[in-house]
A and B are shown apart, each in its own frame.
Chain A
Amino acid sequence: MHEFSIAMDIVDIATSYSRKEKANVVKEVEIEVGQLSGVVVEALEFSLEAAVKGTMLENARMNLIFIPGKARCTNCAQEYETDTVYMPCPACQTGAPDIFQGRELRVKSLIID
């Protein structure tokens, strides 16, 4: 389950930025998780719970923000929502669209003191 190593990377990123900002307390970590990022949100939540133990993020709220997948047709420029990376265009059936939203996997912000 790669969500464990992803969770460890999130903890590393958030703690190193918190240190750089000389934070005493981390109240919240905001994490963007795209629908097409390859990460299962529930598995990530579960992994984060284990990963924060004994770190300065232990009591911080992990705010996972889900970002839906969006595709643009390479033939007719139609934009549509998709839950796969390959869903064909609903208007003209062309496959392999440009995915312009939903691949995010990013530590967006921290709320610290």
Chain B
Amino acid sequence: MNILVLIKQVPDTEATIKPGAEQKSIAEAGVKFVINPYDEYALEEALRLKEAQGGGKIKVVTVGPERAKQALRSAAELGVDEVLLLKTDTASLDGLAIAQVLSESVAKESFDLILMGKEAIDDGNMQVGPMLAELLDIPCLNVITKLTLSGRQVTAEREGDSGVEVLETSLPAVVTCQKGLNEPRYPSIRGKMAAMKMVIAEQTVTVSGDRAVVTGLQVPSARSGGKIVGEGAAAVPELIKLLHDEAKVI
């Protein structure tokens, strides 16, 4: 089985994000970049499927600048078969533009399964997966927490507020992954050592289309601290008064 995993390099969840000079992108100095955490579930699921089937190929592709090679290297540490950087310096917010670039590159090969995170934690658009599926004219299962393959038949689960939806389709398909699907592994040291020497393949691409653009970035104002009105039953009247008069919520 041929599996394609699409990943994105994003700022580390713990990094302090500040707007850059033009207030349109973030200042990258001192920021650590990692694989988008939801994409890690996709990578792990691909590895598990390959292990379970005792064969197949995993290719990992990302669209991004030169530094995104580091994310591919981290993916390579896990023992995937092939990695590719679709290199561009345009940081596009346009999901369709990215989906188009990917679909052109992907169309040349035939993949049975395309896995990716349900969203990238930096811009949180949640668009590329469904749009790519549409462009390739294949089904898309979104925000999946359980995936089972039997032959070409795909069964997946999606957890919602009111219960679990069970979805079925057949390969080829796009599946976007949600937390809970699996627990991503830590690479073996041999994997790490091999990935250090690996040459990362790259292709320059043009991301065109400015249907959505960033006009400005702002840091949210710091949250003001809470207020302790007292303890126990005695504090209730005061609380009600404040909720009514000050917060105006009741």
> Real complex partners, A and B?
no
